[in-house]
Amino acid sequence: MSANLLWSDVPTVTVDVDSTTSDLAKSTQAQIGRYLDDRGHAKMREAAELTAGLSNVYLRVVWDVALRPRPWLDVIPATGVVPEWTWGMLSAATVWRELEPLEDGKGVWRLLEYHTAGVIEYGVYRGDTNTLGIQMGFADHPDTEFLVKRTNSKGQQATGVDRLLITHLPNVLPNRIWDGVPDTAPLGRSDFAGIEPMMDALDESWTSWMRDLRLGKARVVVPQEMLDTSSPGSGASFDLDKELLVSVSGFLGDAQKPVSESITDLQFKIRVEEHERTTKALRRQILASAGYSAQSYGEEGSVAVTATEVAARKEESLTTRGLKILYQRPALLEVLTTMMMVDVTHCGAKGVDPAVELTASWPQAVQPDPEATARSLSLLESAGAISTYMKVKMRSPELDEPEVLAEVRRIRDDKAQATPAGDPFNAGGEAPNEGRPDDEVEPGYDEGQEQDPDEEEPVGGGSRPELAA
């Protein structure tokens, strides 16, 4: 849900035109759009989903011109990175992962990448499940042989970019549980933090409900004498489809007792309503504690309502979304700047200025109702309290300044073409037939006829209606 609220649509990233030339701004803007294509969009959504559960993730910029012409993103879970902080900012990071075990099965092999500004230092280690072990050579493992040509004698690779290739993406801050623990303040807080007991209670409620379903299965209790026995050791059975049962003398010690009274049906009550109320209350409390509205999960049904009502019902989810955008936006802009630097340095990108200033804006989570927007614009226009420019901005807030001005010009051109030039009721002050050719003059009107200004036309007696000032 967190990832859907944040990354259902791609945010708009724009280049500040004051930070570079107009040509570079346009080409850089186009390249950023290529970074945030379907692959880039999917990676950011993946990162948003992981960070909601793990409290934070790391975005690593990688490149390989043999695979793709541009750099791309790699998402690393928080459990695979050992960060180093300087004044709350990520200054270095060690990325580690286990390698495929060798055929001899001896030891656990790990690859470590120590990232600093401009340099990546690699190391291969063989140890066990609890210890890192001793450092080995890159050629000792088939998964790290490619590093022999990529690194120098110290196992270092120059990135050519004077900044970290890793960006930290927290979920939200602060982390209440780790308060006071050294080097944990910048780490984020998971959406699950603090609601684990309620989730355990919900699990217990569902388990009890499922137990009621199992115990509620219908059963028939019959005397032992009614069971059909087969060969010794093969047990006994009872045919529920028998149409006739004959009472046998001496049966259950009472020959006069009907056989039907010896059969007892057994079925426990399934407490559906009690379990449903309990689980629903726990579910709502869990969602509220995590910062989401029950409406976001379909709790109130899917009845069509206006955008205002939807926003009111999803207020908690929208508030959480706005809070998470505060942490998503700086990480997004930082990683895009790193991608531009790598693109220019290693992928030969042209017309890209990594030094530009970037801004990002997320689309509205709840789209306004077009009918409600049209009514609002109509009322403002009737009151003379809105311009054509602001009407276009309210109708399409996603448009930038040049697009809005172009739309205003188109609207004015359409109005100019649609207004009849010879309207006799035109109160704009211009002559009714000014600028019109003779063949377009209304029939019955003499252009040379002049009227005495002092002569009053009788009301109701003239050929034209009286115009009151």
The verdict on 83 and 52 lying in the same domain is yes
The verdict on 165 and 219 lying in the same domain is no
- What is d(CA 296, CA 232) in angstroms, rounded to the nearest whole number? 62
The verdict on 223 and 346 lying in the same domain is no
How many helices (H) and strands (E) in the chain? 11, 15
Asked whether the beta carbons of 391 and 381 are under 8 A apart, the reply is yes
The verdict on 185 and 70 lying in the same domain is yes
Asked whether the beta carbons of 55 and 171 are under 8 A apart, the reply is yes
The verdict on 343 and 383 lying in the same domain is no
The verdict on 296 and 406 lying in the same domain is no
Crossing angle for the helix pair 388-395 and 401-418, nearest 10 degrees? 120
The verdict on 343 and 377 lying in the same domain is no
The verdict on 184 and 56 lying in the same domain is yes
Asked whether the beta carbons of 127 and 178 are under 8 A apart, the reply is no
DSSP-derived secondary structure letter, 168: E
Structurally, the chain folds into a number of domains equal to 3
The verdict on 85 and 187 lying in the same domain is yes
The verdict on 397 and 335 lying in the same domain is no
- What is d(CA 244, CA 237) in angstroms, rounded to the nearest whole number? 16
pLDDT one digit per residue (tens) for the chain, 469 residues:
999 999 999 999 999 988 888 899 999 999 999 999 999 999 999 999 999 999 999 999 999 999 999 999 999 999 999 999 999 899 999 999 999 998 877 889 999 999 999 999 999 999 999 999 999 999 999 999 999 999 999 999 999 999 999 999 999 988 888 878 888 888 999 999 989 999 999 999 999 999 998 888 777 776 766 666 766 766 666 665 555 444 444 444 454 555 556 666 667 788 999 999 999 999 999 998 888 888 777 765 545 455 555 555 667 888 899 999 999 999 999 999 999 999 999 999 999 999 999 999 998 766 666 777 888 888 888 888 889 999 898 888 778 788 889 999 998 888 888 766 555 555 555 555 554 454 444 444 444 444 554 545 444 444 454 554 4
The verdict on 201 and 256 lying in the same domain is yes
Q: DSSP states of 333-394 as a string? A: HHHHHHHHHHHHHHS--SS--TT--EEEEPPPSSPPPHHHHHHHHHHHHHTT---HHHHHHH
Q: Would 354 be classed as within a structural domain?
A: yes
Domain that holds residue 256: 196-306
Q: Would 70 be classed as within a structural domain?
A: yes
Q: Would 220 be classed as within a structural domain?
A: yes
